[in-house]
Structure 1
Amino acid sequence: MVLSLLSLCASEVVRDHSSSPCWLSFVPMELFRPLLEASLSGCRPLAVGELVQRWPERTLRVRRKPAPNRLCIQALLLAVARGLLDHRCALQVLDLCGLQGDEGGDGGHDGRLVPHRGPLHHGAAGQERSPESAEGEEEEEGREEGEGRRTRASVILNLTGEEELTTTTCGISSEDELIRGVRRRMEAERKMMPTATESGSKQEVEEDSEVLVHVRADLFVNARSWERVRGALTTCGPLKLQCRYLRAEEISVSSIRALLALLPQQGLLGLDVRYSNIGVAGLAELLPLLKSFPALSSLRKLSEGLKQLQELRCLSLTALRLPGQLRVLLSSLPRPLEVLELPYLSLSPADLAFLSVSHHASTLQQLDLSENRLDETTLTSIRRLLSQASSTLQHLSLSGCGLTDNLLVLLLPSLGCCRALRSLALALNPLSVSGLMDLVKMAVKMPSLRQLLYPNPLEDYQPGLPEMPSSAQLLDWPLDEAIDVNITSSQINRALKASGRSDLLLTCDLLNYDKDMVC
């Protein structure tokens, strides 16, 4: 990426925080944004705080990429609270939508601001260390700076104001001491700000409920962060939290209901419920609440009797494991879907037969059937479904579906007819080198295709792999280091070069595959 002269100059200006008193008071309004972007990308939390505290515009949108680290986000949030009593600050709307924490996301599908301490997904790692306690002199400094700023900022602080703050060095070892000092100072200021749970603060908050700054964010809520998010949504005061996309994971139906009851009815655009085992009874309990959100256009993992949702276009039923229920779930939708994600749903042959003739088949732009076992009994339905969607389907995932060489050969003609297909994912299928090359030869003949995620061939694995391995076994089984896996890559690259398809990306990198890169 080539940086503009303005960006380069802004990076130099914010590099040395000791010089900020010399220029901060004379910065024209139009330079605040590039200076803030340079502070965020360069990990300058003190500069972030000073710029945001006197933000001259009504709206501040923090861009999603590159994602700022947690220390800078915390500095930003604290500065918003301090700016409530700063006459130079004109901020009324803080937009954090699309922002994700520096501990990482869930594979790139949809990054969200994560108000919890823990992994986004099972097995995701994110080591955190407790901050050092504030020392006397620094704590006194924070107390002096915080005097007169005791605003009811617990709403926004609860997004990232955790008991443990992440240690972040930004890769610059010479700034370790500065970072530690910033963290101690921020922690001291945060502790001094009253919350709704402190003695006497609840009554004070209720008396002054005027909202000065609206905070928009995408929220990920699980069992560990549930209480914190509920507190952020229920606390009154000058900062008002609004949610655009809500993702709830591993929480009960009653907790989801309580969250929905706290959200503004006009703001929620998408709902994603995962791994909560809510069952059909839970769906029936939640669905009547959804019609209260007229802007809801993306509903994930909730369906059955969705007649009230006239604008629904995107539906994901991830890991519900409801075999034989697809007709009940989809037939009542008033309008055809454009995005349908059914991974880990344990689809039955009857489910796939219904889908292939449903009113959704001819309008689908994205279809995810990952981790649903396909065999000879479902092949006819899959081919009919692809035929119906051949002119609209842009993204297709059949990863982990148990596709063998024989099944793939029968399916390739139908795949080749999908003339709008831009990305195809077939990872974790038990294909040999021969089957893989058949796939590659078909892919290079599809002019619309831009990305193919292919599986490692069976020959590349260590001995002992079952004759018909599952996707889980293919994921965990080690590759054979004695085999030169570059041989397979060379074969693929030769086929790609011979076709002249320099615009087609072929990859077996499951972790870094992102279909949205070709949008």
Structure 2
Amino acid sequence: MVLSLVRLCARELVSDHSLSPSWLRCMPRELYGALLEAAFDGRRPLAVLELVQRWPERSLRVGGRTEPGHTAPNRLCIQALLLAVVKGLLDQRSALQVLDICGLRADEGGMEGPMGGWSVTVALCTKVVQARAEVQRTQRKEGDRERKRFSDLERERDLKKERGQRQELSDDSMCSKREKLVLPCLASEAEQIKGVRRRMELERRRETAATGLGGSKSEMKEKETNDDVLVHVRADLFVNARSRKCVCLALGSSGPLKVHCRYLRVEEISVANIRTLLNLLPCRGFLGIDVRYSNLGAAGLAELLPHLSNFPELNSLRLYHCNLDLRRDRLGQEDVLRDLSQGLAQLKGLRRLSLTGLRLRGQLRVLLSSLPLPLELLELPNLSLSPADFAYLSRSHHAFALQQLDLSDNRLDENTLPSIGRLLSQSSSSLEHLTLSGCCLTDALLGLLLPSIGGCLKLKSLAITLIPLSMTGLMDLVRMAVKLPSLRLLLYPNPLELYEPGLPDLPSSVELLYWPMNEDADINTTSSQLNRVLIESGRSDLLLTCDLFSYDKDLK
């Protein structure tokens, strides 16, 4: 890749920190972005600190997907970025008002080690508390200076008063008369101006309340607290039991830095603590919540859903191993199911739902039928779905809008394949990502399903791994995949011929994952046969891989 002249010059400038005082004074604001990218790419935390501390624009976006040719920031650069924001609060050269670090992660290389979402969250919340303390310390220093200046003025006035005692009494009397005439006029004028402003403010508030534009009490409270904010920070927050207090302290504090959460991910936190976190978040800009390994239970989820309805922009809900056991034969379960259905119905903007490792067999209709909008993303891995669940899903209003569908680790057989085929046919005009890994699809079952998969012409990624497929079935799968014009990634299973003998007749996904491979089998032969199919079809843009962990996630 050929680097532009601007990037080459920016890389050279940030490489030597001793030269920064000379070029920072005369650098135009249009080049700050290129310099900051070069500082991140070159791992120059001091350059990041100086550039962000005097950032000339109102907003700064750092994080998310890395552009081609750029590397992700390392740990030291991220720490320098957050420190620079705090220092810039007291720097008159900084114009920064909005910092967006959503999706910010450190790279995996370097001696400093990676910095994941948990570490970024703790570092951000620590800086928020430090910024409040720093501003308070500065205000105390300014107050001390102001009191000192006032005492000096008092002392100087006393000295002038002693010197003025020798002046004539007539001058003193004239001055006192002048003060008596002027000062009341000034005071009355100031009170009049203050009264007019007060009346105008009250009248404006009455008009706002009358027209209904004032918003709710929570929105009014947010407007009042935003008056003291200098920089708004938008981020994804990762919270567990150890970092919960730190995050709550940062969200509940008023100061120059205010955190706005885009996505919230919590692990091993009770319902009461999750509710406390939600009450501290601003209502606007909150898009989704991911709850993992928390013992919610069906009753806990029913209690949590009304609090999620307070966020009008919420469009994503993910539950991962949260101990939901929904069975109608249990006492009081009908009331819980009704509460869950009513709570989901209040999520007016929900378009992405992920339910993983929950015991929801036969209850899919109760949960999904109450959603007001059709889902664009639906992930239902490891739910032990019944034929009735698949039948409902294929006829639901969600089938026509699905863009991503994950049914992995749900056993498919002759009874469920007609419903799966109908579902794929209904979503063929919108489906872009499909995952059917660990579904016990044999050569015969996959052969019945391939025509339905081949009809999804907008499919970009297809994951069918950890299934008992022979080499013949794998070749059929690849020949179908090369006919999909939009497909860029096929995650395929290792054929049964590559495993050591001893596998059951219908092995599970766990057995296929951990069963040893046959050392005598030639894996390269399998790869060459699949690549030959790609070459013959002219599909150099399609990636075939059986590696579950190392493929490029951006393709998916």
SS at match of 1:266: coil
Partner of 1:268: 286
**Counterpart Cα distance in 1 of 2:453 and 2:466:** 18
Partner of 2:449: 411
Partner of 1:166: none
Is 2:22 the counterpart of 1:22? yes
* C-alpha contact (below 8 Å) 1:116/1:221 kept by paired residues: no
Matching residue's letter, 1:80: V
Q: Deviations over 1:162-218 (max 9, x none)?
A: xxxxxxxxxxxxxxxxxxxxxxxxxxxx8996799xxx9xxxxxx998211111101
* C-alpha contact (below 8 Å) 2:72/2:106 kept by paired residues: yes
Q: Work out which of the residue numbers 436, 446, 461 in structure 1 matches 2:484.
A: 446
Partner of 1:32: 32
1:157-306 correspondence to structure 2 within 5 Å: 157-158=125-126, 210-301=228-319, 304-305=341-342, 306=344
Query: Unpaired runs of 5+ in structure 2?
Result: 141-224, 321-339
Shift of residue 227 of structure 1?
2.2
Q: TM-score, normalised by structure 1?
A: 0.79
**CA 26–155 in structure 1, closer or farther in 2 if over 3 Å, else same:** same
Partner of 1:2: 2
Is 2:77 the counterpart of 1:72? yes
**Counterpart Cα distance in 2 of 1:2 and 1:296:** 42
Matching residue's letter, 2:313: A
Shift of residue 157 of structure 1?
4.7
**Counterpart Cα distance in 2 of 1:365 and 1:515:** 17
Matching residue's letter, 2:124: I
Is 2:382 the counterpart of 1:364? no
Q: TM-score, normalised by structure 2?
A: 0.74
**Counterpart Cα distance in 2 of 1:495 and 1:485:** 16
Q: Deviations over 1:439-463 (max 9, x none)?
A: 1121122233232110111222234
SS at match of 1:360: coil
Q: Deviations over 1:246-296 (max 9, x none)?
A: 122232212211111110001201222233242211111011111211111
Number of corresponding residues: 441
Matching residue's letter, 1:23: W
Partner of 1:334: 372
Partner of 1:182: none
**Counterpart Cα distance in 2 of 1:62 and 1:22:** 26
Is 2:124 the counterpart of 1:156? yes
* C-alpha contact (below 8 Å) 1:156/1:239 kept by paired residues: no
**Counterpart Cα distance in 2 of 1:113 and 1:155:** 11
Query: Unpaired runs of 5+ in structure 1?
Result: 105-110, 119-153, 162-189, 201-206
Q: Deviations over 1:351-371 (max 9, x none)?
A: 111111111112211111112
Q: Deviations over 1:320-349 (max 9, x none)?
A: 232222111100011211211112222222
**CA 371–254 in structure 1, closer or farther in 2 if over 3 Å, else same:** same
The more displaced of 421-430 and 61-70 is 61-70
**Counterpart Cα distance in 1 of 2:262 and 2:486:** 33
Identity %: 66
SS at match of 1:489: helix
Matching residue's letter, 2:270: S
**CA 159–368 in structure 1, closer or farther in 2 if over 3 Å, else same:** farther
* C-alpha contact (below 8 Å) 2:128/2:257 kept by paired residues: no
Matching residue's letter, 1:115: W
Partner of 1:125: none
1:373-412 correspondence to structure 2 within 5 Å: 373-412=411-450
1:42-191 correspondence to structure 2 within 5 Å: 42-64=42-64, 65=66, 66-102=71-107, 114-116=117-119, 156-158=124-126
Matching residue's letter, 1:114: G
**Counterpart Cα distance in 2 of 1:514 and 1:103:** 15
* C-alpha contact (below 8 Å) 2:488/2:555 kept by paired residues: no
**Counterpart Cα distance in 1 of 2:307 and 2:135:** 30
Q: Deviations over 1:446-493 (max 9, x none)?
A: 233232110111222234433322212222233333321001011111
**CA 473–222 in structure 1, closer or farther in 2 if over 3 Å, else same:** farther
* C-alpha contact (below 8 Å) 1:316/1:341 kept by paired residues: yes
* C-alpha contact (below 8 Å) 1:115/1:160 kept by paired residues: no
**Counterpart Cα distance in 2 of 1:449 and 1:112:** 33
* C-alpha contact (below 8 Å) 1:426/1:455 kept by paired residues: yes
1:479-490 correspondence to structure 2 within 5 Å: 479-490=517-528
**Counterpart Cα distance in 2 of 1:368 and 1:277:** 23
Shift of residue 310 of structure 1?
2.2
SS at match of 2:25: helix
* C-alpha contact (below 8 Å) 2:466/2:512 kept by paired residues: yes
SS at match of 1:38: helix
1:346-361 correspondence to structure 2 within 5 Å: 346-361=384-399
Q: Greater share of helix residues, 1 or 2? A: 2
* C-alpha contact (below 8 Å) 1:454/1:508 kept by paired residues: yes
CA RMSD of aligned residues (A): 2.9
- Which entry has the higher C-alpha Rg, 1 or 2? 2
Partner of 1:165: none
**Counterpart Cα distance in 1 of 2:490 and 2:452:** 16
**Counterpart Cα distance in 2 of 1:280 and 1:208:** 37
**Counterpart Cα distance in 1 of 2:295 and 2:533:** 45
Shift of residue 112 of structure 1?
10
* C-alpha contact (below 8 Å) 2:63/2:105 kept by paired residues: no
Matching residue's letter, 1:45: P
Matching residue's letter, 1:375: D
**Counterpart Cα distance in 2 of 1:116 and 1:48:** 19
SS at match of 1:382: helix
Shift of residue 436 of structure 1?
0.7
**Counterpart Cα distance in 2 of 1:195 and 1:249:** 33
